[in-house]
Structure 1
Amino acid sequence: MALTASPQDQARLLDLQGLDTRVRQIEHRATALPEHAEITALAGQGVALRSRLSAATGAWEDNQTEIRRLESDVEVVEARAKRDRDRLQTSTSVKDVQALEAELVSLAKRRSDLEDIELELMEAAEGLRAELDAAQVEHASLQGRIGLAEQSRDAALAELRAEQEQVEGERERLAASLPEELVALYEKQRARYGYGASLLRARVSSAAGVALTESDLAGIRTAAPDAVLLCPESQAILVRTDESGL
């Protein structure tokens, strides 16, 4: 048996379709928020900045490790030199004295060489520390910008969710007030074709955006006002009104 519904109930399907369209628009706005693109762009900057920060941290730590190693080597040389000087004070062997004096000369040169290298590393440390500090400041600034963008995004999403909940509530109440079989057909067609109801105005189907053919219109003209018809173009329920141009 063909489905029937009052013209008034069929016309209210347009309101239902309007609410569904609003829900889709809200969902699209939620996915198209400018904050999404901003966060993605900032995250991309973060990848490069983290790489730079990691490199700067590694260079600084390597520099400091090398300085500590040299300081340790200098301490070893100094201890060795002190031991040789102490032995030199008590040695009575000319051969031992000559050997100790030669070793002290060698140790003095070794210490001088180590201190020169240490000085170079300490001078380099200033630039490495400055680069590390700059990278840390930029990273902190970027994290702050990301945080602000995320807060803005979350606030916008919260507003959209509230709006969507309101629209979905209106939709639920409207759907509950319409005949169950009519709503079921509407849902079926909307799920399949994207639109559940289409207004026929001046012989144009709003869902399809095209004028119906004369042969299609002829069949529509002869249908009873409460007959539920499907648009031959969009397959949505075709809502007829005084503006349909029949």
Structure 2
Amino acid sequence: MKATPLQQQELLRLQALDTKVLQVAHQTTSLPQHAEVLSLKREADAVRARMTTEGGALGDVRTELGRIESDVGVVEKRIARDTERVQSTSSIKDVQALETELTSLRKRLFDLEEIEIAVMERLEQHEASVAVVVRERDAVAERMIAAETGRDELLADLERQIGELRRDRLTVAGTIDGELVTLYEKRLVTGRGNAAALLRARTCSGCTMTLTGSDLAEVRQAAANEVIFCPDCGAILVRTEESGI
């Protein structure tokens, strides 16, 4: 294939832009903020699991307290009922029976109130534990927002850079012969991003292989407008005064 030396040199500009696009695209996937956000998500998951555990324990204690309060209410009503009966009956036998029952009910009430106090103390402890987890959850959420915001701002800037580079690439590609651009782009795929390289001091800048022997002789014999390739990496070798041939 033939192409003027100037056209071939334009490929170096195209290669520089394509290399920069790949570098910036790689940055979008390797930002440290990605790892930070992932770490915070794991931390948030752990906090949510603790919230489920602590919240469940708190709910159980509240249910237990509700049952005890209900039992206390029942006993208090029976004490009030029996006290009223004692005051309204004239039967000594009934009074004795009621007094016996009242003694038993007051003992039951005392025991329930003791249990109630203990459960209320446990309730306070669980409420305090839940409050701690809530604060941790809110703190992680706040850090998550900050990390995601910072990441998104960086990604937006990188995407802007990629957009500008691609526009510049279109401009440069538009100045190069279409057949040469097609060849370059095929090499870009097969060379995994390395399609054109400057030959400097007989060394390919794409793979750093120095030409010697027959490879160097073929390059020296090639016409200036002939498109040649690196025998090692296959990139289009662009010759200039720096080539040393």
TM-score by length of 1: 0.93
Which residue is equivalent to 2:51?
53
**Where do 5+ consecutive residues of structure 1 fail to align?**
none
Q: What RMSD, in angstroms, separates the aligned Cα atoms of the two structures?
A: 1.6
Letter in 2 for 1:216: D
Q: How far apart, in 2, do the equivalents of 1:147 and 1:18 lie? A: 36
Q: How far apart, in 1, do the equivalents of 2:67 and 2:143 lie? A: 40
Q: Does residue 219 in structure 1 map to residue 218 in structure 2?
A: yes
**Where do 5+ consecutive residues of structure 2 fail to align?**
none
Which residue is equivalent to 2:78?
80
Which residue is equivalent to 1:203?
202
Q: Report matched runs for 1:106-117 at 5 Å.
A: 106-117=104-115
Q: How far apart, in 2, do the equivalents of 1:96 and 1:209 lie? A: 112
Q: How far apart, in 2, do the equivalents of 1:81 and 1:135 lie? A: 43
Q: Does residue 65 in structure 1 map to residue 63 in structure 2?
A: yes
Partner of 1:185, secondary structure, is helix
Partner of 1:198, secondary structure, is strand
Which residue is equivalent to 1:124?
122
Letter in 2 for 1:205: C
Q: How far apart, in 2, do the equivalents of 1:102 and 1:230 lie? A: 111
Q: CA deviation at 1:127?
A: 2.1
Percent identical among aligned pairs is: 45
How many pairs does the alignment contain? 244
Q: CA deviation at 1:95?
A: 5.1
Q: How far apart, in 1, do the equivalents of 2:104 and 2:185 lie? A: 94
Q: Report matched runs for 1:117-196 at 5 Å.
A: 117-194=115-192, 195-196=194-195
Partner of 1:208, secondary structure, is coil
Q: CA deviation at 1:238?
A: 1.1
Q: How far apart, in 2, do the equivalents of 1:109 and 1:183 lie? A: 98
Q: CA deviation at 1:209?
A: 1.4
Q: CA deviation at 1:40?
A: 1.6
